[in-house]
Amino acid sequence: MRQLVSLLLISCFTMGQALAAEVQVAVAANFALPMQKIAQAFEQATGHKVRIALGSTGNFYAQIRHAAPFHVFLAADDETPMKLEKEGLGVPGTRFTYATGKLVLWSKQPLGVDDRGEVLRSGHFQRIAVANPKLAPYGTAAMEAMSHLGVLAQLQPKIVQGDNISQTYQFIATENAQLGFVALSQVYSDGRFTQGSGWIVPGHLHTPIRQDALLLNAGKDNPAAIALITYLKSEKARVVIRSFGYEL
């Protein structure tokens, strides 16, 4: 009897392993921390494996067009997934907004940024970091915000650009730039800033940062990719997303 039970357990485990699959996900750098949490919970719930690649939305667009083997794309905007879908590189009807991002002016120093962003007008800093607006939607939003505030021209000589929002964050975290614009999710968790000081940029100062997901053609027959797209819409995933300051 014990041998029979052991054989059944081994059989169930083997079947589970056989049904498990792996999904390659291209993730916009601003969503790195929430995606790590979501991936861990997803793996525990489904047995599937998640492989995460982080980068800028613009670079991922180019890679996907050149047949990079990604199954799912989590962009930092809604335009890029839409373009990929129109170009026949994504599965029609699978695109949806998984989060709406928030832009924050942030400094590693506790008093580096006031709660109204007036530091931008004072100019009492040497460098301000911004993600490359040609590649990163958060960079575009930062340039729009400075333009609306009427400070872009005076700050232009002080701007240093990161290739993506992660590199931009590193410029500020290492204090190579005294402050800069990053995604709120990079410096915020469970209702508070994790360190330093920041000003959450009002939404009317820039185009809404709607972040869309898309099931790519390479993932249309991949059970892990299909399951992940479904999981991202679940309440468990949404709780994680909200905890990092995103809107839904």
Q: Are residues 127 and 223 in the same domain?
A: no
pLDDT bucket at 93, cuts 50 / 70 / 90: very high
Q: What does the pLDDT look like over 16-47, one tens digit per residue?
A: 444 689 999 999 999 999 999 999 999 999 99
Asked if residue 113 belongs to a domain, the reply is yes
Asked if residue 184 belongs to a domain, the reply is yes
pLDDT for residue 123: 85
Q: What region, left, alpha or beta, does residue 207 occupy, with left being phi > 0 and alpha being psi -120 to 50 degrees?
A: beta
Asked if residue 55 belongs to a domain, the reply is yes
Q: Are residues 171 and 120 in the same domain?
A: yes
Cα→Cα distances 49→28, 80, 84, 230, Å: 19, 26, 25, 15
pLDDT for residue 16: 45
Instruction: Identify the residue with better confidence: 3 or 141.
Output: 141
Q: Are residues 29 and 70 in the same domain?
A: yes
Q: Are residues 113 and 234 in the same domain?
A: no
Q: What does the pLDDT look like over 135-169, one tens digit per residue?
A: 899 999 999 999 999 999 999 999 999 999 999 99
pTM, two decimals, is: 0.84
Asked if residue 248 belongs to a domain, the reply is no
pLDDT for residue 248: 87
Say if strands 192-193 and 188-189 run parallel, antiparallel, or are unpaired: antiparallel
> Domain range for residue 68?
2-100+210-243
Q: Are residues 110 and 87 in the same domain?
A: no
Asked if residue 238 belongs to a domain, the reply is yes
Q: Are residues 201 and 108 in the same domain?
A: yes
Share of the chain above pLDDT 70, in %: 92
Q: How many domains does the chain have?
A: 2
Asked if residue 62 belongs to a domain, the reply is yes
Residue in this structure with the two tokens 């940062």, named with its chain if needed: 209
Asked if residue 150 belongs to a domain, the reply is yes
Neighbours of 17 (CB within 10 A): 9
Distance of CA 163 to the CA centre of its chain: 14
Asked if residue 190 belongs to a domain, the reply is yes
What's the distance, Cα to Cα, between the start and end of the chain in Å?
53
pLDDT for residue 15: 40
Taking 80 as the threshold, does the pLDDT of residue 227 lie above it? yes
H/E segment holding residue 161: strand 159-162
- Using CA atoms, how far apart are residues 107 and 144, in angstroms rounded to an integer? 20
Q: From the DSSP assignment, how many helices (H) and strands (E) are in the chain?
A: 10, 12
pLDDT for residue 1: 46
Taking 50 as the threshold, does the pLDDT of residue 4 lie above it? no
Taking 80 as the threshold, does the pLDDT of residue 5 lie above it? no
Taking 60 as the threshold, does the pLDDT of residue 7 lie above it? no
pLDDT for residue 245: 92
Which domain CATH number covers 121?
A: 3.40.190.10
Q: Are residues 74 and 134 in the same domain?
A: no
